Amino acid sequence: MVAYADFHRRSLVDRDGFWREQAALIDWHRPFDSVCDDSRAPHTRWFAGGLTNLCHNAIDRHLAERADQPALIYVSTETGQEQTYTYAQMHDEVQRMAAILQRLGVGQGDRVLIYMPMVPQAAFAMLACARIGALHSVVFGGFAAGSLATRISDAQPAAIVSADAGSRGGKIVPYKPMLDEALALSGSAAQVLLVDRGLAPMSRMPGRDHDYAALRDELAGAEVACAWVDATHASYTLYTSGTTGKPKGVQRDTGGYAVALAASMRHIFDARAGQVFFCTSDIGWVVGHSYIVYAPLIAGMATLMYEGLPVNPDAGIWWRLAERYRVTHMFSAPTAIRVLKKHDAALLREYDLSSLQRLFLAGEPLDEPTAQWIGEGLGVPVVDNYWQTETGWPILTIAQGVDSSPGRLGSPGFAMYGYDAALFDPASGEELTEPGQKGVLALKGPLPPGCLQTLWQDDARFEATYWHSIPGRQVYSTFDYATRDADGYYFILGRADDVINVAGHRLGTREIEESIAGHPGVAEVAVVGVQDAIKGQAALAFVVPRRSLSELGDTGGSQLVREIGARVDGHLGALARPRAVHLVSALPKTRSGKMLRRVIQAICEGREPGDLTTLEDPAVIEHLRARLEA
């Protein structure tokens, strides 16, 4: 811990010296003029003047030593496909894709929207954009036409890369009809490149729609040199939900992002070239950008890209793949582990996982029962980490390559190097320094390399949203409440709108969830705050029992509800007891496993749940409504 404290302190007091050392982890075509230019804060420029390329650092620079090493391992339990690409083969495929994009008129600085399932061509397209200096904007495959249209309108892409369809749990989701409708709604004149997987019929518009397979064959052997771009050149935009109807296009740079990812693989993940990284996310999310596509390849590792559910063909599929491909590092989400928790724990011990060093979990707070269950089942350390789309890499965790400090259940860990984290009172702006005080977690500028530069074509919104929300302070707000103990471990309590005010008392729904999740009969739980005429707000709990609702019956269900109430009383006091506990068979989640608490809250308050395009199972909405009325 002392060693890490010094490491972190140096990253703040000797910022230029520290990040100059980290910059040596990647290749530069031309050295940078300055390390950190914060003269236009909060628009920090990292490594300005330096020329580099993300694709070169992910692929080309490894060819001399590891051309025949696996780079991308693709597995789809939806289609039964498995294919491994070496670094040399990736180099060939990415150059072909780059040549195709150039054929379609894409040049440096242009945008390419990628609307794809989890297939290798999606990664080829991302890397090809980086290769030629174009910006990619990945939209989660299967997004509804209206949501897709808003992103097309905002990004104004020169080309769109898509496919006939995706598949989820054996259900085919046709993409082309939604893409056609979105193009019509947006009025876009983008060229369209289509990967035909043979899953769904699709019509083609002559002159606009182009066949990937035909162009790939035509451009066999194409050689496309990397475009050397300034480190501050935008590499991509990624849309994340905003408090208004307009999504926020998070804009990332090139050099800072490459350095941040290279450093994270060494210091946070303790990963090395030749190892195998398995991130179970989707490329539509930032985790997929950073830790499926770019970071493992920059580190010279093999990355495992998986299309399928964690329980198909059974709940041992992830561990079977970990055994087969000798996975060393896994990265997933707490919700996905809670899904597996409902299945036989023996599946965790059925496979040879001797290669697996650690399991990293992020995306939402990790509750203690889930962390203990998976850690004991796998017999490897479980490393929580906390970050956001905007930061691109972890804010809080235990730096495995630097720090020997043990994790602390319920906490993601310490502030990572480069992040000057603090807690602030959201009303007064006072910095909170005493252990146990609750405040908004914020980051003092400048943000470290890899974080967002701005919002796409909206500097004013970037500044107003993130940097001016805490009174009297120009600090980056995460909009998450947290506490910090005397040893420096942070505990995330939930989003600012997940902290509810019950009869004048502020309660974190995360704390209530933690208490309920500790009951042995509970598999999953979500707690939301809803309007209450007397108390202002009240907590409602939605619990997925470990036993099915039919097995529990009315008597068993009533007993479980009483025990949950008593448990919360004992842990947090009667004030925190939920107004009601609803037993349900499923909770609304995205296809990457993230809980959609805003949807639950809207249903409870009789409002429309809003955008459901990322929802894994739409039927869960009616199930929740039925349980509320029961």
Residues 6+ apart with CB under 8 A from 485: 408, 411, 435, 436, 491
| Residue 403 pLDDT grade (very low, low, confident, very high; cuts 50, 70, 90) | confident
pLDDT at residue 376, rounded to an integer: 92
CA distance 372 to 346: 15
Q: Give the residue-averaged pLDDT of 469-477.
A: 95
Q: 448: cis peptide before it, omega within 30°?
A: no
Average pLDDT (64-71) is 98
Of the two residues 575 and 237, the one the predictor is more confident about is 237
Residue range 194-199: mean pLDDT, rounded: 98
Average pLDDT (103-129) is 98
Name 157's Cβ contacts closer than 8 Å, sequence gap at least 6.
110, 111, 112, 113, 137, 188, 190
Determine what percent of the chain is predicted with pLDDT higher than 70.
Answer: 96
pLDDT in tens, 43-65: 999 999 999 999 999 999 999 99
Provide the 3-class DSSP secondary structure of residue 367.
coil
pLDDT of res. 533: 64
- Amino acid present at 521: G
Per-residue pLDDT at 534:
62
The whole model's pTM is what? 0.85
Top-confidence residue, 594 or 539:
539
Q: Which helix (H) or strand (E) holds 378?
A: helix 368-378
Q: How confident is the model at residue 156 (pLDDT cuts 50, 70, 90)?
A: very high
Q: Cβ distance 449 to 259 under 8 Å? A: yes
pLDDT of 497 higher than 60: no
Walk me through the domains of the chain, giving residue ranges and CATH numbers. 2-418 (3.40.50.12780), 503-629 (3.30.300.30)
pLDDT of 592 strictly over 90: no
Mean pLDDT of the chain: 92
24 vs 589: which has the higher pLDDT: 24
pLDDT confidence of residue 535: 65
Gap between the Cα atoms of 585 and 132, Å rounded: 48
Encode 436-453: b = buried (16+ Cβ within 10 Å), e = exposed. eebbbbbbeebbbbbbbb
Residue (of 160, 236, 241, 171) closest to 195 by Cα position: 160
What confidence tens digit (pLDDT) does each residue in 285-303 have?
Answer: 899 999 999 999 999 999 9
User: Which of the four pLDDT bands, split at 50, 70 and 90, describes residue 365?
Assistant: confident
For the ranges 312-326, 532-546, 547-561, the one whose mean pLDDT is highest: 312-326
Average pLDDT for 390-409: 93
Cα-Cα end-to-end distance for the chain: 52
pLDDT score, position 1: 45
pLDDT confidence tier of residue 244, bands split at 50, 70 and 90:
very low
pLDDT confidence tier of residue 243, bands split at 50, 70 and 90: very low
Rounded Cα–Cα distance for residues 613 and 621 (Å) = 13
- Average the pLDDT over 60-75 and give the result: 98
Average pLDDT over residues 73-92: 98
The pLDDT tens digits of the residues spanning 406-437 come to: 889 889 999 999 999 999 999 899 999 999 99
